Amino acid sequence: MGAAPKPLDTCRLLDEDPDLAEVLPPGRRERATEELVAPCMSFPTGAWTLPQLDPPGLGLVVLKGVLLRHVSIDGRLGLELVGETDLLRPWQGGDGTMIRLEDEWSVLSPAKLAWLDERCSSVLARYPELVAKLLERAVRRSRHLVTNLAIVHQPRVDHRLRLLLWHLAGRWGRVRPDGVYLPLKLTHSLLADLVAARRPTVTSALSDLTRRGILRQADDGWLLLGDPPSSIAPESTTILGTVW
């Protein structure tokens, strides 16, 4: 069973999404804030089944939380993490592929989504700056996917993990006096799927990174220590697993 949403509510889109509001000058921003009222849905953690949205409209904007997309081919997974400010169209199928895919979603941390239904989309059309910003987000999401592909092609699992966690911290990290905190519950099994490795190898690599003072688990998330990796050149320390 998928995670059931709470009853539909309404919200002022630009109040909930200040990053989107920033592209408008003050006068237009105030007017757009009053006009852009969207249906909103909240979801608990767990498997996510898309609610019936008819007609679906322009898409869904993630206001809070993180969702996980699972794409499977013959039992092999490809995963994508999406979160605040991302634009989703999970009902959009086809994509021109002739390969049979299984596409599922789950909620990793409690999520709130705004539905850009027909009414909201018609108002958005009066603000081309907002439409351009939403398009920018869609392109940004595709670039994150390409970055993920580059990460999983690194030969060493410890490098993959370090690069992935810093990449995610660029989106959702919080700077603290003791490091950069990534507030995501990423289990060893989930990290293994994200970096295309086996769970025991990931556990060993995480232990080694912790021992070397590069990261550690903290407060239901991960604390990244030091600076982001500027190079992945081999180090003189023990080399961990390569492909697996």
The pLDDT value recorded for residue 11 is: 95
Quote the CA–CA distance of 4 and 166 in Å, as a whole number.
Answer: 32
The pLDDT value recorded for residue 244 is: 40
**Which residues of the chain fall short of a pLDDT of 50?**
1, 234-244
Domains of the chain: 9-137 (2.60.120.10), 153-224 (1.10.10.10)
The pLDDT value recorded for residue 103 is: 83
The pLDDT value recorded for residue 46 is: 94
The pLDDT value recorded for residue 123 is: 96
Number of helices (H) and strands (E), helices first, in the chain? 8, 11
The pLDDT value recorded for residue 238 is: 38
